[in-house]
Structure 1
């Protein structure tokens, strides 16, 4: 049976293997570029969000803390 399969399935041509290698390399390259771009966008978003959170924290620290009026002084 295996002898018959060699006639049905021809061996891959070297040119096809080379073309596939070029395709695979370019696919990996573009995949890497895409992932790095996504990571760069995430880092930029994170920096902007972190700065907004810092500014919001500073504003909150400057506001009156109304909840402090309702706390009872602790007796130690």
Structure 2
């Protein structure tokens, strides 16, 4: 059945298929590189934010806790 239409829609020449295959492989490569770059940037951002939060937590632990005075006064 597929061979019936080769007169209506000619098959592309073989070199065109090679060009499209090379283009597709190149495009997939660049997408992979971009996704890995995006992941690395996200991980760097996450580790930076996590370190900042650890520092803020340590700073909050060293601050004077006024609310604990009120809780002790009620007991």
- Which TM bucket (shorter chain)? 0.7 to 0.9
| TM-score, L = length of structure 1 | 0.85
| Partners of 2:50 and 2:6 in 1: CA distance | 63
Instruction: Find the counterpart in structure 2 of residue 30 from structure 1.
Output: 30
Q: Is it true that 1:42 corresponds to 2:17 in the alignment? A: no
How far, CA to CA, are the matches of 2:24 and 2:46 in structure 1? Answer: 33
Shift, 1:67, TM fit = 1.1
Give the superposed CA RMSD: 1.3
Unaligned stretches of 5+ residues in structure 1: none
In structure 1, the partner of 2:11 is 11
Range moving further from structure 2, 19-28 or 8-17: 8-17
5+ residue gaps, structure 2? none
4+ runs deviating over 6 angstroms? none
